[in-house]
Structure 1
Amino acid sequence: MQLIDIGVNLGHESFDHDLDAVLARARAAGVAQMVVTGASRAGSPKALELAQAHPGFLYATAGVHPHHAVEVTDECLAELRALHAHPQVVAVGECGLDYFRDFAPRPAQRRAFERQLELAAESGKPLFLHQRDAHADFMGVMKEFEGRIGPAVVHCFTGTREELFDYLDADYHIGITGWLCDERRGLHLREIVKNIPADRLMVETDAPYLLPRSVRPMPSHRRNEPVYLRHIVEELARDRGETPERTAAASTATARAFFGLSEPA
């Protein structure tokens, strides 16, 4: 079983002391490749550094999460544009809107989102998107760029059935995380993930966040890591009524096509 984790925050400080062991555990669990999320002005260059240090195994995105929208200045955009020129950077983002926490003013979020969509239109690279409690505005901004941007994946999908079908109607891809395994918040996902076409479905851990709550034994440190991607795929396969091997093969093929990844040697 070969897996691709399309969203993992390996630049997070919690991985600083044991990154090599984390990567080794991931490989042993069948994770063949990973896309390291760049979500801030400082984090995006770090994601590229990790990808360059592990060619063919790690890749990167470069963008600014809506929590950090105030970072998106002209200078920041120039830095992101330079990062997008690297072949190891396979997507623009993480970018989007987050009205759940409102860590940045909403007008600043929308402007930062629009400016990063402009970068995606320039580069032609896929989009790695974030949306939480901002669906109407998110879809409105995306519609303004219809026909100018390439493929897009809504990372860490946690939304409603209606939101899912809006994304599928817009031809977006969907990233599923261990949120699926949360009996408090993720039960609705178990009912709707079967509606995602295989060629639009990808999987991710969003580590170190969102440790699947159904993992047993539950690790004492509570840190998520890519080794648990296999568990997510097994749960997802059960909810879709298919074998884990089929879910793994389809999501891996979809991720390779979406991000333009070569098969590892």
Structure 2
Amino acid sequence: MNKTRYSLTDIGINLTDSVFDADRETVIQSAESAGVKRMLITGTTAAESEKAISLCQQHPNTLFCTAGVHPHYSKEFSPAIRDTLAALLKQPEVRAVGETGLDFNRNVSSPEQQIRAFEQQLELAAESGLPLFLHERDAHNKQIEMLRHARDHLHGGVAHCFTGSRKELYNYLDLDLYIGITGWICDERRGGELLGLVKDIPANRLMLETDAPYLIPRNLNPKPKSRRNLPAYLIHILEQVAQERACDPQELALQTEANCQRLFRFNQTKEEAGQ
């Protein structure tokens, strides 16, 4: 693998996670050397979103972030948190609202709490003019219902870490959303259905992400000693997706970068983007 061949954006990395505290700068530098020139840090709470912005400010043009409240933390959502998010979404480093959505698998927060927090963040997306960075697990029907209801007021978004069914894929595509593919596609135990679906994603709707430090590609060769996923491994995900789609990985890299620019407008200020 030619580590300098591509120029990619990792649209989902949990770079504020404490597992990166000891070597965060090295992780960023290694990613850039591998061809991952830009990373979008995932905001999961108001506090984590603030940390992400601070980190982005130390690496302008390389790091950007989202700001939002993950469904697990919906129980913490309050008018004060909403006001904090509204202010954070005005920062130039922030390019999407999220990670937001519904997760009825673990119900760390109750479904009612999740729905209320998601409603508020849909409103924030409409108010800010920013796209959505969406999480969903075992809650697809309700999430699609809410997205359809709000659709006319939204400014696009991406179904982060998509691992769903064909019907779920087309539900998202029917809403003109982008689809984020992770190293899940490299997992022979769980990724079989996704391998069959990745060919059906329109090229202009496909994005790539690691979700690091989670979801390390299982078929890395040689296998790294650590089970921690890294943004540098996005190259491996790109090449796996290109293989399944029977396309040139360089062309796929260029297409996914064009998609990222279209949705997140990395090269524009918010004033230029009309926000």
Q: How many residues are paired up?
A: 263
Cα displacement (A) at 1:46: 0.7
Q: CA deviation digits over 1:121-177, x for unaligned, max 9? A: 100111100011111000111112120111111000000011001111111110000
Correspondence list, 1:125-136, <5 A? 125-136=130-141
Moved over 3 A (4+): none
Q: How far apart, in 1, do the equivalents of 2:176 and 2:21 lie?
A: 37
Aligned to 1:202: 207
Aligned to 1:83: 88
Which of the residues 42, 49, 53 maps onto 2:54?
49
Aligned to 1:121: 126
Aligned to 1:216: 221
Cα displacement (A) at 1:261: 0.8
Q: How far apart, in 1, do the equivalents of 2:267 and 2:219 lie?
A: 32
Q: Does 1:33 align with 2:71?
A: no
Is 240-249 or 254-263 further displaced after alignment?
A: 254-263
Is 111-120 or 211-220 further displaced after alignment?
A: 211-220
SS in structure 2 at match of 1:145:
helix
Please list every run of 5 or more consecutive structure 1 residues that lacks an aligned counterpart in the other structure.
Answer: none
Q: CA deviation digits over 1:148-207, x for unaligned, max 9? A: 111111000000011001111111110000011111111111111111111111000000
Aligned to 1:157: 162
Contact 2:151 2:175 in 1 (8 A): no
Contact 2:163 2:184 in 1 (8 A): yes
Matched AA of 2:239: E
Contact 2:180 2:208 in 1 (8 A): yes
Q: How far apart, in 1, do the equivalents of 2:45 and 2:187 lie?
A: 27
Q: Does 1:141 align with 2:146?
A: yes
Q: How far apart, in 1, do the equivalents of 2:176 and 2:102 lie?
A: 19
Contact 2:185 2:192 in 1 (8 A): yes
Q: How far apart, in 2, do the equivalents of 1:88 and 1:177 lie?
A: 23
Please list every run of 5 or more consecutive structure 2 residues that lacks an aligned counterpart in the other structure.
Answer: 1-5, 269-275
RMSD: 0.9
SS in structure 2 at match of 1:218:
coil
Cα displacement (A) at 1:41: 2.3
SS in structure 2 at match of 1:45:
helix
Matched AA of 1:110: I
Contact 1:41 1:71 in 2 (8 A): no
Aligned to 1:65: 70
Q: Does 1:240 align with 2:240?
A: no
State the TM-score, normalized to the length of structure 2.
Answer: 0.94
Aligned to 2:230: 225
Percent same amino acid at aligned positions? 49
Contact 1:98 1:130 in 2 (8 A): yes
Matched AA of 1:21: T
Which of the residues 154, 171, 176 maps onto 1:166?
171
State the TM-score, normalized to the length of structure 1.
Answer: 0.98
Cα displacement (A) at 1:239: 0.6
Q: How far apart, in 2, do the equivalents of 1:118 and 1:31 lie?
A: 32
Q: How far apart, in 1, do the equivalents of 2:54 and 2:203 lie?
A: 32
